[in-house]
């Protein structure tokens, strides 16, 4: 029974990876780019979004992935996370070059609509805090789990940001997939909170 469950979980992860590749191909085939810089901006945004999604979802399958990859699972998770963060930074750099200003890295907290429309800005910093909390978890104690959980809020900001102003999100299929990914991340959040509550009771 355990083997079947593990196989099912790994199959789900493979399905997610293929979905990510398919989504990227759809955008590249049907949304032409004006120039190389636009290709950089849109390409890094879409890939970063998918990689941080994958990093979050992987955390729900730690037990099963460790059976397959052993200790190397943690290295794989780190690679996916670092790649996602690096691409997010490159996306911001591309936008800054296009705008001619580094102000694109400054979060806009008001009005409310601007906070969400430019949600990629707070998302970047929230993801960074979440990643650094994991790196220094031994030094900062149990608070690291709270800080690491900021990745869920960051993904919400990134999703709304993409849907509101992301060029690649102009397609209904991309918006639909993004909402499905957001729902999956919410599911991971709930699942991990229940698991933590059970561990605390035992």
What are the pLDDT tens digits along the chain (202 aa)? Answer: 445 555 555 566 666 666 766 766 666 666 777 788 998 898 899 889 999 999 998 877 777 777 776 667 778 888 889 999 999 999 999 999 999 999 999 999 999 999 999 999 999 999 999 999 989 989 998 899 899 999 999 999 999 999 999 888 888 888 888 998 999 999 989 988 887 777 777 6
Report pTM. 0.85
> Which residues, 6 or more positions from 6, have their beta carbon under 8 angstroms from its beta carbon?
64, 67, 68
The C-alpha atoms of residue 110 and residue 105 are separated, in whole angstroms, by 15
Per CATH, the number for 2-201 is: 1.20.120
H-assigned helices in 59-167: 62-69, 72-99, 112-117, 120-135, 137-140, 143-148, 150-165
For residue 21, how many C-alpha atoms fall within 13 Å in the half-sphere facing its CB? 6
């Amino acid at each position: 029974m355990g083997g079947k469950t593990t196989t099912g979980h790994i199959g789900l992860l493979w399905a997610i990876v293929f979905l990510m590749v398919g989504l990227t191909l759809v955008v590249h085939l049907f949304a032409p780019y004006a120039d190389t810089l636009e290709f950089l901006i849109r390409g890094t945004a879409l890939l970063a979004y998918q990689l941080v999604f994958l990093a979050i979802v992987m955390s729900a399958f730690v037990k099963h992935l460790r059976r397959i990859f052993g200790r190397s699972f943690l290295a794989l998770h780190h690679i996916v996370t670092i790649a996602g963060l690096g691409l997010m930074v490159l996306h911001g750099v591309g936008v800054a070059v296009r705008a001619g200003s580094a102000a694109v890295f400054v979060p806009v907290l008001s009005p409310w609509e601007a906070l969400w429309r430019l949600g990629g800005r707070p998302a970047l910093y929230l993801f960074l805090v979440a990643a650094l909390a994991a790196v220094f978890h031994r030094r900062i104690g149990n608070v690291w789990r709270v800080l690491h959980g900021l990745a869920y809020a960051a993904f919400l900001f990134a999703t709304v940001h993409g849907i509101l102003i992301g060029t690649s999100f102009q397609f209904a299929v991309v918006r639909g997939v993004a909402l499905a990914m957001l729902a999956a991340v919410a599911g991971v959040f709930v699942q991990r909170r229940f698991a933590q509550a059970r561990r605390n009771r035992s």
